[in-house]
Structure 1
Amino acid sequence: MNELILVSGASTGIGAATARALATRGFHVLAGVRRDDDAEAISAEGIEPIRLDVTDPADVAALRARVDADPHSRPLRAIINNAAIEINAPVEVLPLEIWRRQFEVNLFGHIAVTQSLLPALRKSRGRIVNISSVGAQIALPIYGAYAGTKAAFEAASDALRREVAAQGIEVVIVRSGGVRTPMAAESGPLSLRLAEQMSAEHSHLYGDLISATVAFQARFLDRAITAERAARRIAQVAIAKRPRTTYTLGPDAALTLPLNRLLPTRLMDRILTPRNPKGPTP
């Protein structure tokens, strides 16, 4: 097909698998990566790696110039806003600079890319696919910052969908459940390393909660879907003729999201919180 699709965060995991899935369908994929070795790894027929740190205005400007000056005048069929970082710790413990960094990547970076490429999408009547998380609706303990970025991303996506529908642009949210990726695999060990740096008071208050939540997630990931399976779903969403406004990835998301709507909040709190959190020392 003589069309472009951008996939941000294509170095590994869902992004890399999605780039490959779309290339096999005949699209020319602009695969956003941050390092030269990642560019070399993802480069293949139909996949053009481009340097893209979504928080860097120069990279975003270069991306727009690349799309506008495509040597074959190919239209931009879709952008898949997938880049993300995940650093989990209790709300009280996680430093504000890490909160801000996650919002810069997971929210503001995608807004910057979307703002830059909306003129091209208007010309092509293209599509925006925003990769969210089940955490946007159901935030586990210690996941406040990451889940917060995804909840904000979904709210912005809803507003954008209503703003650009009359321009022929579709905006679709994909809520991912558990997917086996390098980021997901590193999430638990990173939380444990951060926990080692807590004060004695915070260790007493949150140490067991962090360990239990990390152990729960590790068991959960053993049953999670592969990045390749997630990518096939995202590729279908990107090119569907009449897409829904929201999709889920994985059986866990398909199960827990309806439960969250049906069950009382206090019951969901008990289901999702390990049984051993501690209160303050008497």
Structure 2
Amino acid sequence: MPPAQKNELIVVSGASTGIGAATALKLASMGYHVLAGVRTDSEADAIRTENIDPVTLDITVPEHVEALAQRITDDRERRPLRALVNNAGIEINAPVEVLPLPLWREQFETNLFGHIAVIQRLLPSLRQSRGRIVNISSVGGEAALPLFGAYAGTKSALEAASDSLRREVTRQGIQVVVVQPGGVKTDMAAHSGGISLELAAGMSTEHQRLYSDLIETTVATNTAFLERAVTAEKAGEKIAEVTTTARPRTRYTLGKDAAFVIPLARHLPDRLMDRILAVSHRSRK
């Protein structure tokens, strides 16, 4: 039998592929009406199905964010906004010294400031419904691998902002939850290694000498790990559960690697953690 309609809206950003698409589809199958953020007409056509209403949403474009807020306010069935799942993101990895500043800024604009813009604009609707914000972070938010400085930096900042936001809005009836995935089989993850190697090919001779072995080893390690990583579908099921469970925790890990690495990063001395990660990468080259 089809699921009972929940008569509530849930926004999922970055819903064209991967974790976002899987989350949107799972929530729709549970009876929620999902406003699925996509960037192109072809992406909208691919995700459109029962209970999924694609919306054009580049979270770095103020006009898109405003249109999303207006869509919720003008909902013909006057459905409340049950939750906002901030999933959109990009990943461009290279050594801190090598990654150009425009690429640092691009990642922070999407992975942090874009989410803040959406949160700020949708908080009135979430306050009215006593809804929930689910921020998709990363294991890198607490344990940053080499090359992941910019990406992990955005996730660490998102986690800090989430903690502050949670303490600001709890009394307003709004819940704030962080999900920390480890490796997940997605297009973004699959392409990130190739992007790193392309950036490495354009490095100076001196940077090649300093970093080429590290880049090759890290890309090879991560590529091998992704073959055994959690599928996007499994990740989407977990995020949908977190989004709708009655009494959520403030944080959830996603995947065995995140469940293992994050406690280590919290409790081990930094130098010991450095050695563990270095040995892990050398052993998988």
Into which bin does the TM-score normalised by the smaller protein fall?
A: over 0.9
Q: CA deviation at 1:252?
A: 0.6
Q: 1:157 aligns with which of 142, 159, 162?
A: 162
1:223 aligns with 2:221: no
Other structure's SS at 2:137 match:
strand
Report the Cα distance in structure 2 between the residues aligned to 1:178 and 1:131, rounded to whole angstroms.
13
Which residue does 1:144 correspond to in 2? 149
Q: 2:90 aligns with which of 57, 76, 85?
A: 85
1:255 aligns with 2:257: no
Which residue does 2:242 correspond to in 1? 237
Q: Output the amino acid matched with 2:270.
A: T
Which residue does 1:113 correspond to in 2? 118
Deviations 1:207-255 (A, max 9, x none): 0100000011011111100000001110010111110000011011011
Q: CA deviation at 1:166?
A: 0.4
Report the Cα distance in structure 1 between the residues aligned to 2:267 and 2:85, rounded to whole angstroms.
31
Deviations 1:70-107 (A, max 9, x none): 00000000000000000000000000000000000000
Which residue does 2:178 correspond to in 1? 173
Which residue does 2:196 correspond to in 1? 191
Q: CA deviation at 1:260?
A: 1.7
Report the Cα distance in structure 1 between the residues aligned to 2:218 and 2:110, rounded to whole angstroms.
24
Q: 2:213 aligns with which of 208, 215, 237?
A: 208
Q: Output the amino acid matched with 2:157.
A: A
Extract unaligned runs of 5+ from structure 2. Answer: 1-5
Report the Cα distance in structure 2 between the residues aligned to 1:106 and 1:261, rounded to whole angstroms.
23
Which residue does 1:280 correspond to in 2? none
TM-score, scaled to structure 1 = 0.97
Other structure's SS at 2:69 match:
helix
1:36 aligns with 2:64: no
Report the Cα distance in structure 1 between the residues aligned to 2:270 and 2:226, rounded to whole angstroms.
24
Report the Cα distance in structure 1 between the residues aligned to 2:145 and 2:43, rounded to whole angstroms.
31
TM-score, scaled to structure 2 = 0.96
Report the Cα distance in structure 2 between the residues aligned to 1:199 and 1:40, rounded to whole angstroms.
43
Which residue does 2:3 correspond to in 1? none
Q: CA deviation at 1:262?
A: 2.9
Q: CA deviation at 1:275?
A: 4.8
Q: Output the amino acid matched with 2:68.
A: L
* Residues 142 and 266, structure 2, Cα contact 8 Å, conserved in 1: no
Q: CA deviation at 1:271?
A: 1.7
Report the Cα distance in structure 1 between the residues aligned to 2:223 and 2:235, rounded to whole angstroms.
19
Which residue does 2:106 correspond to in 1? 101
Give aligned pairs, total.
276
Q: Output the amino acid matched with 1:258.
A: P
Other structure's SS at 1:175 match:
strand
Report the Cα distance in structure 1 between the residues aligned to 2:93 and 2:77, rounded to whole angstroms.
43
Deviations 1:148-198 (A, max 9, x none): 000000000000000000000000000010100000000101100110000
Report the Cα distance in structure 2 between the residues aligned to 1:87 and 1:262, rounded to whole angstroms.
28
Q: 1:70 aligns with which of 54, 61, 75?
A: 75
Report the Cα distance in structure 1 between the residues aligned to 2:213 and 2:27, rounded to whole angstroms.
43
Other structure's SS at 1:172 match:
strand
Q: 2:29 aligns with which of 12, 24, 31?
A: 24
Extract unaligned runs of 5+ from structure 1. Answer: 277-282
Report the Cα distance in structure 2 between the residues aligned to 1:162 and 1:55, rounded to whole angstroms.
25
1:10 aligns with 2:10: no
Deviations 1:20-66 (A, max 9, x none): 00000000000000011100000000000000000000000000000
Deviations 1:127-165 (A, max 9, x none): 000000000100000000000000000000000000000
Q: CA deviation at 1:116?
A: 0.5
Q: Output the amino acid matched with 1:39.
A: A
Other structure's SS at 1:135 match:
helix
* Residues 112 and 158, structure 2, Cα contact 8 Å, conserved in 1: yes
Other structure's SS at 1:173 match:
strand
